[in-house]
Amino acid sequence: MKKTRINKGGILFAGQCYYYAWYLSRELRKLGWRADVLNWDTNPASQLYYHGEDYKFTWNCPLADMAKQLVFYIKALARYDIFHFSGAHNIGFGPLSGVFRRIGFPYVEIRLLKKIGKKIVYTNNGCLDGVSQSSFRSWPGPEPVCDICPWRNTPEVCSDERNLEWGALRNSLADYQCTLGGNRKDYNNDTRVHEVPEFYCLDVDLWRPDLIIPPEHRLSYPPGTVRIYHAVGNYDERTDPATGRNLKSTHIYLPLMERLKAEGYPVELIFAKDIPNREVRFYQAQADIIVDMLTFGFFGANVREAMMLGKPAVCYLRPEWLENMRQEVPDYVDELPVVSATPDTIHDVLVDLIEHLEKRVEIGRRSREFAVKWHSAAAGARRMDKIYGDLLKLNRDTA
């Protein structure tokens, strides 16, 4: 008997958000969606964070490329019911949208989507996304995180005016927004903004605890060494050249490692920067502990990858954000196995983990279980299937 294929509708992920949309779209296809990923990022340096796409825009010959992109957009109007964008200032179609803005018609292509009944979904991806620098800086914690950010005095990247202008525009365009971390000030404090940890999803087989390490990526350390992994993407851009400080807390970890060695602990730092994402997992997999931001308040891809690999991860978890998250995803907060630390407590936290192998093993076991439950591509597809379905049902009900 021939199996009938379910057709729930079409989704275009317009723009990359690391690899999340790629793995999510593959799983959504299994649930009956036409789910495609458009990579419109023409920056070669960004491609190392992406894992795949169905369509890719180029900008080698502007006139010809603009014509191709316009044709793609027109076809997309018929193919897709939902357009899912990600990242501050990235609601659009890359070079094509840039042309519209330069000739005085900003976001005309997005407003047309809304006018003809398409649904706009957006994923929040950073501290400057809809929240002013002043508001973000005012969150209580170990220290104002903006003080160590090299972009704090770069208004073309981050400022109260720029961030709030984007937040107002973003909220006027999006029907539903995904976020994670509880940063609910300014335009993030909106009924259309929801905690959706499942969107930020990974492939459970690509990041697995028994990952085989290719010979060219194997590291050699004396027996008994406790390997501590720390990474910074776009290190040069994100690090203050005068002080060496960055949001990832590298300026704290480097001297801390020397202190731990001086105290007799057999530790070594695995430091990674600007490595293609498909390869960086080989270094994470060889670590015993993975450490991340100590003042920001939450975590990103590095810690999610660590958990999926079954590694104990350390970063600062801001209590206020956890309470905000608890309103929508209480189980996520209650089950979260990440070890919280601040600049003042990180030494003792690491000593405890270094001295207690059994604790590292147990946290690693819970981390893998947590990541599979909340951050697997299958979990992401189940959650987004419901979100997208509800949006289209609302669309049909109001038609």
CATH of segment(s) 215-375: 3.40.50.2000
CB 281 within 8 A of CB 211: yes
Q: What is the CA radius of gyration of the chain?
A: 22
Specify the residue for token string 């972009």: 151
Q: For the chain, give every domain's residue range.
A: 9-201+377-397, 215-375
Q: Which pLDDT does position 396 carry in this prediction?
A: 62
pTM given for the model:
0.94
| Residue whose C-alpha is closest to residue 293's, from 326, 347, 328, 246 | 246
Q: Which pLDDT does position 397 carry in this prediction?
A: 62
Q: Which pLDDT does position 3 carry in this prediction?
A: 52
Per-10-residue mean pLDDT of the chain, 399 residues long, equals 70 93 98 97 89 94 93 96 96 93 95 97 93 94 87 92 97 98 96 97 97 96 96 82 87 96 98 90 97 96 97 98 97 98 98 98 98 98 97 71
Q: Which pLDDT does position 394 carry in this prediction?
A: 64
Q: Which pLDDT does position 48 carry in this prediction?
A: 86
Q: What is the 3-state secondary structure (H, E, C) of the chain?
A: CCCCCCCCEEEEEECCCCCHHHHHHHHHHHCCEEEEEEECCCCHHHHHHCCCCCEECCCCCHHHHHHHHHHHHHHHHHHCCEEEEECCCCCCCCHHHHHHHHCCCCCHHHHHHHHCCCEEEEECCCCCCCCCHHHHHCCCCCCCHHHHCCCCCCCCCCCHHHHHHHHHHHHHHCCEEEECCCCCCHHHCCCCEEECHHHCCECCCCCCCCCCCCHHHCCCCCCCCEEEEEEECCHHHHECCCCCCECCCHHHHHHHHHHHHHCCCCEEEEEEECCCHHHHHHHHCCCCEEECCCCCCCCCHHHHHHHHCCCCEEECCCHHHHHHHHCCCHHHHHHCCCEECCCCCHHHHHHHHHHCHHHHHHHHHHHHHHHHHHHEHHHHHHHHHHHHHHHHHHHHHCC
**Does this chain's domain 9-201+377-397 share its CATH topology with 215-375?**
yes
Q: Which pLDDT does position 357 carry in this prediction?
A: 98
CB 240 within 8 A of CB 246: yes
Name the CATH topology of 9-201+377-397.
Answer: Rossmann fold (3.40.50)
Q: Distance between CA 378 and CA 363 in Å, rounded?
A: 23
Quick one: tokens of 341? 């630390």
